[in-house]
Amino acid sequence: MKQIDENKLFREVTLRISSSLELDQALENAYEYLRQFMPIDRIGLYYLDEERQGIYTAAEILESGRLNPRANSLPLIPFDDDLRRRRARLQAQEQLVIIHNDPKQQEAITLKCFPELATFSTIRLILKIEREQIGALLISAKGANRYTDKHRRILEIVKEPIAIALSNAMHYQQTLHLKNLLADDYKTLVREVESLSGSQVVGAEFGLRQVMEMVRQVAPMSSPVLLLGETGTGKEVIANAIHLTSPRRDAPIIRVQCGAIPETLLDSELFGHEKGAFTGAIQDKRGRFERADGGTIFLDEIAELTQGAQVKLLRVLQEKQFERLGGTKTIAADVRIIAATHRDLQEMVRKGTFREDLWFRLNVFPIHLPPLRLRKEDIPSLAQYFVERKSREMNLRAPTRLAYGAMERLLSYDWPGNVRELQNVVERALILTQGHVLDFPKFTTDKAISAPVMVPEPTSMIRPLSDITADHIRQTLIHTRGQVGGPGGAAELLKVNASTLRSRMRKLDIPFGRVRSAATF
């Protein structure tokens, strides 16, 4: 046997057993070196799997020098009471290297796992991390009296790197397993999202037929897409459809509501920041563009971007790179941009509030979404879709049928709020009908203006809370034909005490009483 240089032995075994996270390769490298110092006919690494409740083979080299291809597949032995008691004894045992030189006196557990070792001497190293047993290294050689205290000393020298290598490999395999589970979950989620939005665009065969044809044309490309249309026409749904039918579908789609992010935080949100870039920046943060790398970023209401953010966005479009706030490192990002707005960007360019060069960059493939008033053939399908979806979301019993004339009322309205307004009307009707015959509360049938809807001043959008409350109570009373209390009355539907509701109605000047009819309201 060679004279042992303990420092060199430790270094060389550490290098070999840590050479790969694939334990087959790592064990083979260590085996080739260790066999210079001790007899080895077969060698194996074994680990305790708490989740699967058994002892499993991590890597094994058989007598022929071949790797065991069945490692990790089946347990050598499942946990039982005897094994648990034995494990408890080993936990308390300070001696980690155990030699059995008499094949006839081999431990029962060894022969149970490896009956072929009945004619072998064995030396076993118990592997622990922070005093917790994680597995064992078992070395064996044919015949009796093959191992000595010198061999014991060799394994004592290298016990720590071998235990760390086994622990690292186990964590690596667990990470791979979780990664695969996450990939499967993501694919399942993508299919669910497709069923809710991307592949089930309501109206794809009728009013949105031309839009969906453009989606099919542009989806395989990486060109920017600009979605134009009034508020509520479904621009985000079309953005989902483009992403989910593109080669980028397995990467994320990141949504940015440009008008909802304060100007002071916009750069940080879009492009990220470095630790210490500003007060409160206690760690590095990835921006939306970094998170969307390889996928799609959907910039909703792009017209709300500040001039400074427009300049940075232009650089991303041109060079596909940017810097984090407070950073100097240039970050590359392969991101497809889909932008959307209900504003007239060309007019904004003329007024100087939107950069002309950015407009040209975004306007590569514009898609105009028609308002709902120009595709009324989609209203029945949309109404049915929202009835089914909202019934599930609100745990309501689906209505038995539509009231007489209900669909005609939907078709006669011009829907200035487009699909979003239709969704709200259906949801309100479901709340009021509670699974009975579905009817829609009275709403204005004034013709909507055909020109693009302009954003009103904030004050013109705000109604007094008392007016909104009064309208809601009146709609409920119409549904109950004036009944306030009792089963099926307005108080029951609104989930308030009947006397409280009557008091509220007096303050809002809403008449009530037995002689009142629904028309009064």
Q: Is the pLDDT of residue 448 over 60?
A: no
Give the contacts of 101 (CB within 8 A, at least 6 positions apart): 121, 144, 145, 146, 147
Strands 330-332 and 321-323: antiparallel
Predicted confidence band at 238 (pLDDT cuts at 50, 70, 90)? Answer: very high
Amino acid type, 455? V
Distance of CA 134 to the CA centre of its chain: 33
Q: For position 145, what pLDDT does the model report? A: 92
- Do 63 and 42 form a contact (C-beta atoms < 8 A)? yes
Report the range of poorest mean pLDDT among 24-33, 109-118, 335-344, 393-402.
393-402
Q: Is the pLDDT of residue 37 over 80?
A: yes
Fold of 6-173: Beta-Lactamase (3.30.450)
Distance of CA 440 to the CA centre of its chain: 37
Q: What is the mean pLDDT of residues 173-201?
A: 65
Rounded distance, CA 406 to CA 488, Å? 21
CB-based contacts of 387-396 (< 8 A; 24+ apart in sequence) = 387/426, 387/430, 387/438, 389/196, 390/423, 390/426, 390/427, 390/430, 391/430, 394/427, 394/430, 394/431, 396/430, 396/431, 396/434, 396/435
Q: Which of 90, 143, 94, 97 is nearest to 119 (CA)?
A: 143
Rounded distance, CA 214 to CA 234, Å? 15
Q: Is the pLDDT of residue 115 over 90?
A: no
Rounded distance, CA 91 to CA 75, Å? 21
Q: What is the mean pLDDT of residues 231-245?
A: 90
Higher pLDDT, 300 or 186: 300
Q: What is the mean pLDDT of residues 369-393?
A: 86
Task: Tell me the DSSP string of 500-512.
Answer: HHHHHHHHTT---
206 in helix, strand or coil?
coil
Q: For position 287, what pLDDT does the model report? A: 87
Q: What backbone phi and psi angles, to 5 degrees, belong to 435?
A: 90, 0
Report the range of poorest mean pLDDT among 106-115, 208-217, 463-472, 479-488.
463-472
Q: Is the pLDDT of residue 347 over 60?
A: yes
Q: Is the pLDDT of residue 261 over 50?
A: yes
What does the block give as tokens for 325? 């706030």
Report the range of poorest mean pLDDT among 116-125, 144-153, 198-207, 258-267.
198-207
Predicted confidence band at 203 (pLDDT cuts at 50, 70, 90)? Answer: low
Q: What is the mean pLDDT of residues 456-483?
A: 66
Q: For position 54, what pLDDT does the model report? A: 79
Stretch (H or E) spanning 121: strand 120-129
Q: For position 187, what pLDDT does the model report? A: 62
Report the range of poorest mean pLDDT among 137-146, 400-409, 415-424.
400-409
**pLDDT tens sequence across 350-380:** 999 999 999 999 999 999 999 999 888 888 8
Rounded distance, CA 354 to CA 458, Å? 22
Rounded distance, CA 473 to CA 453, Å? 30
Distance of CA 510 to the CA centre of its chain: 49
Predicted confidence band at 92 (pLDDT cuts at 50, 70, 90)? Answer: low
What does the block give as tokens for 421? 């307004």
Question: Given 3-state DSSP classes, what are the helix, strand and coil percentages for the chain, each rounded to the nearest 5?
Answer: 45, 15, 40
Count CB-CB contacts under 10 A for residue 380.
14
Query: Could you confirm whether domain 372-461 is CATH 1.10.8.60?
Result: yes
**pLDDT tens sequence across 59-84:** 888 877 777 766 666 677 777 777 67
Q: For position 57, what pLDDT does the model report? A: 87
**pLDDT tens sequence across 452-464:** 333 343 444 455 6
Q: Which of 239, 244, 233 is nearest to 208 (CA)?
A: 233
Q: For position 460, what pLDDT does the model report? A: 42
Fold of 199-274+286-370: Rossmann fold (3.40.50)
Task: Tell me the DSSP string of 341-392.
Answer: ESS-HHHHHHHTSS-HHHHHHHTTEEEEPPPGGG-GGGHHHHHHHHHHHHHH
Dihedral of the alpha carbons of 206, 210, 213, 215, in degrees to the nearest 10: -100
Strands 97-100 and 120-129: antiparallel
Instruction: Note the helical H segments in 194-344.
Output: 209-218, 235-244, 263-271, 288-291, 307-319
- What is the maximal distance between C-alpha atoms in the chain? 112
Write down the mean pLDDT value for the chain. Answer: 81
- Do 314 and 355 form a contact (C-beta atoms < 8 A)? yes
Of the chain, the percentage scoring pLDDT greater than 90 comes to 25
- Do 431 and 492 form a contact (C-beta atoms < 8 A)? no
Of the chain, the percentage scoring pLDDT greater than 70 comes to 84
**pLDDT tens sequence across 303-328:** 988 887 888 888 888 888 888 888 88
**pLDDT tens sequence across 14-23:** 999 988 888 8
End-to-end CA distance of the chain: 105
Higher pLDDT, 176 or 337: 337
Q: Is the pLDDT of residue 280 over 90?
A: no
Q: Is the pLDDT of residue 514 over 80?
A: no
Q: Is the pLDDT of residue 476 over 70?
A: yes
Angle at the Cα of 465 from the Cα atoms of 461 and 468, rounded to 5 degrees = 80
Q: Is the pLDDT of residue 110 over 70?
A: yes
- Do 253 and 295 form a contact (C-beta atoms < 8 A)? yes
Cut 0.85: pTM above it: no
Report the range of poorest mean pLDDT among 83-87, 155-159, 195-199, 438-442.
195-199
Q: For position 228, what pLDDT does the model report? A: 94
Rounded distance, CA 292 to CA 251, Å? 7
β-bridge partners, 120 = 142
For 322: left if phi > 0, alpha if psi spans -120 to 50, otherwise beta; the answer is: beta
284 in helix, strand or coil?
coil
Predicted confidence band at 263 (pLDDT cuts at 50, 70, 90)? Answer: confident
Helix count (H) and strand count (E) of the chain? 19, 13
Q: Is the pLDDT of residue 296 over 70?
A: yes
Higher pLDDT, 68 or 393: 393
Q: Is the pLDDT of residue 192 over 60?
A: no
